[in-house]
Structure 1
Amino acid sequence: MVLCENVIYTKASAGQLCKAMVLRLVTNPLVVQFVRNAGFDVVWVEMEHSTYSITEASMLASAAMMAGMTPIVRVPYQCGMGYVQQVLDSGAMMVVFPHIVSAAEAKEAVKMCKFPPYGKRSLWLQQAAVGLRTMPMQMMADEVNSMASAVGVMIEAEESIINVDAIAAVDGVDVLIVGCIDLSSDMGIPGQIDAPKFKAALKAVSVACKRYNKVFGLAGNYKDLDFQDWVINTLGVRLILAHVDSNLISVGAMECAERIATIDRTVVHN
């Protein structure tokens, strides 16, 4: 009954890689068509590191559903249950919570996303994930709980690694996502993804995900193909944030300007 497949519960859980495009700058929902044309599975709507309003996030998430892609929304840190509920009511099929460092925090994240008896989310009858259809209350709650309210937690601190087994064991947590930038920074080795200490942390997340049958996700590395090969094919990453709209625009603009500069004979050199 949901508008589109939730690849976290289907493709990723079956062992296939899901590729996400991160949107944090572009607000026009037509950008989703470019993402679909490129062959992505997921539209990741970034609200922690953007100025998106809930309305703008809803438009992007709804466009993703209509295009047949799974919309995932990362909410701001400690935004509260009311904010999370609005994001879910308006189109997210998975909410990602930043900076989760304990099992207790992971349990609270699940409670925010699930209708009773699994959580404390308030029940509203028109849900974007089921196309705003009128449905029997219990049927709608069961459908959204099971297919359109996945929970992702960001593993971004050394303390998270210490507690990663307990976090992965939390019932209702579907995905553990390593944030490479924040985790390496918190470890005192910013950006050093090949450091033994950092690679050991990723291995610990991989082991925990496999032990509790959770999806392993990765964010924050968009260029190092060897590293991506290792995390996908050795560690078992099944959700990868492949790139960010603002990064693509920035890099593309610089490459274009540099390319034109190579044939520019109008510049006067003193």
Structure 2
Amino acid sequence: MTTHDQPLSLKQRMSGATTFGMNIYSTACMPIEVAGNWGLDFVFIDAEHTALGVDRDMEKLLLAARSAAIHSLVRVRGTLEWDIRKALEMGASGVIVPQVHNAAQMREIIRFSKFAPLGRRGGDSSVRSAGYAGPGFDWARYTEAQNAQSVIVPMAESYEFFDNIDEILAVEGIDAVHFGPADYSLSRGLPVDYRLGNPEVLERLQLLISKCHARSIKVMVPCFPADLDTARRLIEMGSDMLLMGSDLSWLNSAGQQIAAVQQALRG
């Protein structure tokens, strides 16, 4: 807690020890609230690969996160101004942007997500992030706070990102980079392995950690399997933000246990 008894922002949490989150693929509030109950730092709400948009369903999930006192990061559909701005206006702690391949793209992301002088984000006071222009609203304080607190996370999930890594990371305003081993592998025609068993994929992650840390940028990584040994390995490598599975993986794990019981009983 801060000296004013306010919860730490996600960026403040990221400045300290390792942070832990989980992916949300459903449109249900329950897994977000459960994650908050168990003290996770953030949820990664996916609008790229799911039925979710940056719409009323997303608003419901963001409100569930607020109710459960857990921070929310929205993976938007791409480098889209409307998605990025609206996710932040609806109350997300930050955005995760997939398929970032070059510095020009990264500059657009900052332009859409940050107010001047850092970017050119459009503003309106009739949104949740502005407190709906309620008591004490002040434009200067609002835009300054949004620039300071909004967490911006591009994804490193293609060979093009690594071809242009120095130019991308040089763009001001990046808080963390999320490494996507599956899409990186697909971009190179490699077998997909979240365990980082391929030497090239592992080397890419090590390179990303080295270059990000040189610029005080955090690195987010999926922890698979989501167990203590894997988490320790990733932290020892320098990973800062670990994704400990998803609502879907929880359901599949339970389904696997039930199927095993069913099979045993049937002989």
Structure 2 residue aligned with 1:232: 235
Q: How far did 1:191 drift? A: 2.2
* Pairing 1:101-180 to 2, within 5 Å after superposition: 101-129=101-129, 131-132=131-132, 134=134, 135-147=137-149, 149-180=150-181
Report the secondary structure of 2:265's partner residue: coil
Distance 1:263 1:63 in 2: 39
| Alpha carbons 1:125, 1:140 under 8 Å: kept | no
Report the secondary structure of 2:240's partner residue: strand
Identify if the C-alpha distance between structure 1 residues 238 and 129 changes in structure 2 by more than 3 Å, giving closer, same or farther.
Answer: farther
Q: Deviations over 1:222-250 (max 9, x none)?
A: 4576554332222x111121111122212
Q: How far did 1:156 drift? A: 0.4
Distance 1:88 1:59 in 2: 14
What is the number of residues matched between the two proteins? 258
Distance 1:28 1:191 in 2: 28
TM-score, with structure 2 as normaliser: 0.88
Distance 1:132 1:190 in 2: 48
Distance 2:223 2:77 in 1: 17
| Alpha carbons 1:75, 1:84 under 8 Å: kept | yes
| Alpha carbons 2:24, 2:32 under 8 Å: kept | no
Structure 2 residue aligned with 1:19: 20
Distance 2:130 2:234 in 1: 34
Question: 1:203 aligned to 206, 217, 222, which one?
Answer: 206
Distance 1:153 1:19 in 2: 18
Q: How far did 1:65 drift? A: 2.2
Report the secondary structure of 1:125's partner residue: coil
Q: How far did 1:121 drift? A: 1.1
Distance 1:38 1:114 in 2: 32
Distance 1:224 1:156 in 2: 23
Indicate the percent of aligned positions where both proteins have the same amino acid: 22
TM-score, with structure 1 as normaliser: 0.87
Distance 1:102 1:28 in 2: 34
Q: How far did 1:251 drift? A: 2.6
| Alpha carbons 1:75, 1:97 under 8 Å: kept | yes
Q: How far did 1:4 drift? A: 4.8
What RMSD over aligned residues (CA atoms) do the two structures have, in Å? 2.1
Question: 2:251 aligned to 228, 249, 252, which one?
Answer: 249
Q: Deviations over 1:192-235 (max 9, x none)?
A: 4222211111111011111100011113734576554332222x
| Alpha carbons 2:223, 2:234 under 8 Å: kept | no
Structure 2 residue aligned with 1:268: none
Return 225-234 or 200-209, whichever deviates more: 225-234
Distance 2:49 2:228 in 1: 24
Q: Deviations over 1:124-169 (max 9, x none)?
A: 114424644521111111111111x221000001121122222222
Report the secondary structure of 2:168's partner residue: helix
Identify if the C-alpha distance between structure 1 residues 17 and 132 changes in structure 2 by more than 3 Å, giving closer, same or farther.
Answer: farther
Distance 2:239 2:131 in 1: 31
Aligned residue identity for 1:170: V
| Alpha carbons 2:223, 2:230 under 8 Å: kept | no
